């Protein structure tokens, strides 16, 4: 456990990446698997994740991300896109996956499927979109921890214009919306923020025992 805490102390939101250093395919696959195994509400994973390596695409995205250098300098750019208007079609696909993975009859989980449909379709489309967007933050948490465990730097970003990223990546017509961005790579030796002391609330201020 002490290794985990040391790892979390090591990580920070990297401001300047070394563009010459690239993540190995093996490490990238480990991070992807950590994202895939992330917790999500009902296990539905109501999102898609785009790994953007193409330099031209990233150059187009940079202005939509307030010109931040990490977009083009990091080894990899990850775009978390929540599914919009999530509904029965996606739930049915999830149910089919449960049946195939666990080798059980659909009848044994039909009640669970009906419960999900009743609960989620009762929400407005706006509320469902907010919900699916929130789910991407859970997946981001796994990315950050997995990357840090591999001594790979990561920067989570909300500072971008979703509508423009949607247009660049053609997300809207796919029923998706860019909700989060993360950059992955290795810190540049000139990034002064790596030397800053980590500022967090004390246990006394943060936690309340009841």
> Residue 1 domain-assigned?
no
Two structure tokens written together for 111: 């009640």
Tens digits of pLDDT across the chain (210 residues)? 579 999 999 999 999 999 999 999 999 999 999 999 999 999 999 999 999 999 999 999 999 999 999 999 999 999 999 999 999 999 999 999 999 999 999 999 999 999 999 999 999 999 999 999 999 999 999 999 999 999 999 999 999 999 999 999 999 999 999 999 999 999 999 999 999 999 999 999 999 999
Residue 198 backbone dihedrals phi, psi, to 5 degrees: -70, 125
pLDDT 10s digits, 17-70: 999 999 999 999 999 999 999 999 999 999 999 999 999 999 999 999 999 999
Global confidence as pTM: 0.95
Burial of 19 (0-12, 13-18, 19+ CB in 10 A): middle
In this structure, what CATH number is given to the domain that contains residue 173? Answer: 3.40.109.10
Tell me what pLDDT residue 1 has.
56
> Residue 111 domain-assigned?
no
Alpha-carbon span 171 to 190, nearest angstrom: 35
Is 80 in a helix, a strand, or coil?
Answer: strand
> Residue 149 domain-assigned?
yes
Are 156 and 144 in contact, with CB atoms under 8 Å apart? yes
> Residue 34 domain-assigned?
yes
Are 191 and 16 in contact, with CB atoms under 8 Å apart? yes
> Residue 33 domain-assigned?
yes
Range of the domain at 133: 17-41+49-85+125-191
> Residue 173 domain-assigned?
yes
> Residue 61 domain-assigned?
yes
Q: What secondary structure letter does DSSP report for 75?
A: S
> Residue 11 domain-assigned?
no
- Give how many domains the chain has, as a whole number: 1
Burial of 154 (0-12, 13-18, 19+ CB in 10 A): buried
Burial of 108 (0-12, 13-18, 19+ CB in 10 A): exposed
């Amino acid at each position: 456990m002490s290794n985990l805490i040391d790892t979390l102390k090591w990580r920070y939101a990297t401001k300047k990446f070394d563009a010459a250093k690239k993540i190995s395919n093996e490490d990238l696959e480990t991070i992807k698997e950590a994202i895939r195994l992330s917790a999500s509400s009902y296990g539905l994973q109501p999102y898609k994740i785009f790994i953007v390596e193409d330099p031209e695409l990233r150059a187009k995205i940079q202005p939509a991300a307030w010109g931040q250098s990490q977009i083009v300098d990091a080894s990899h750019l990850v775009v978390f896109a929540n599914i919009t208007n999530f509904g029965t079609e996606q739930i049915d696909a999830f149910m089919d996956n449960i049946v195939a993975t666990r080798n059980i009859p659909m009848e044994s989980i039909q009640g669970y499927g009906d419960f999900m449909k009743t609960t989620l379709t009762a929400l407005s489309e706006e509320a469902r979109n907010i919900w699916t967007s929130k789910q991407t933050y859970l997946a981001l948490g796994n990315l950050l921890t997995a990357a840090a465990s591999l001594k790979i730097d990561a920067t989570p970003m909300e500072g971008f214009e979703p509508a423009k990223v949607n247009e660049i990546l053609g997300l809207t017509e796919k029923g998706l919306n860019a909700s989060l961005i993360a950059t992955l790579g290795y810190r540049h030796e000139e990034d002064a923020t790596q030397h800053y002391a980590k500022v967090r609330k004390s246990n006394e201020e943060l936690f309340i025992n009841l």
